[in-house]
């Protein structure tokens, strides 16, 4: 079953200008990861430091594998340099029949 993961980011105000380049680099690897079906970046219209990444995954297992890979030296990104607080991850599945 496919899932949608929402990754909520709070950027440091001084990192807003650098965010597009770092996100482009980071999301290139995310989009290439096995099981990734796409990623969109949404910016809060009232707060430029608030981003939500909407990630679509083929399965919970694919998302789990990706999260584990990001914890390795090979999967590490520069995203941590930009954030003011730990990211908040919410993973959702489609509730059929409603």
- Domain of 16, CATH number, reads 3.30.70.100
Domain residues for the domain of 59 are 3-92
pLDDT tier at 95, thresholds 50, 70, 90: confident
Domain-located, residue 75: yes
Domain-located, residue 71: yes
Dump pLDDT digits (tens) for 12-66.
Answer: 999 999 999 999 999 999 999 999 999 999 999 999 999 999 999 999 999 999 9
Full-model pTM: 0.92
pLDDT at 97 over 90: no
Domain-located, residue 98: no
Domain-located, residue 87: yes
Q: Which residue carries 């200008």 as its tokens?
A: 17
pLDDT of residue 31: 98
Own/partner long-range contacts of 19-27 (Cβ < 8 Å, ≥24 apart)? 19/51, 19/82, 22/77, 22/78, 22/79, 22/81, 22/82, 23/51, 23/79, 25/77, 25/78, 26/77, 26/78, 26/79, 27/53
pLDDT tier at 71, thresholds 50, 70, 90: very high
Domain-located, residue 39: yes
Quote the number of domains for the chain. Answer: 1
Domain-located, residue 23: yes
């Amino acid at each position: 079953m496919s899932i949608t993961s929402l990754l909520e980011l709070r950027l440091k105000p001084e990192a807003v200008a650098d965010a597009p380049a770092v996100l482009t680099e980071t999301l290139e690897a995310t989009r290439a990861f096995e099981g990734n079906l796409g990623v969109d970046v949404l910016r809060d219209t009232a707060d430029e430091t608030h981003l939500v990444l909407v990630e679509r995954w083929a399965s919970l297992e694919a998302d789990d594998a990706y999260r584990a890979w990001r914890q390795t030296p090979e999967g590490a990104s520069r995203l941590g340099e930009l954030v003011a607080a730990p990211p908040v991850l919410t993973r959702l599945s489609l509730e059929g029949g409603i």
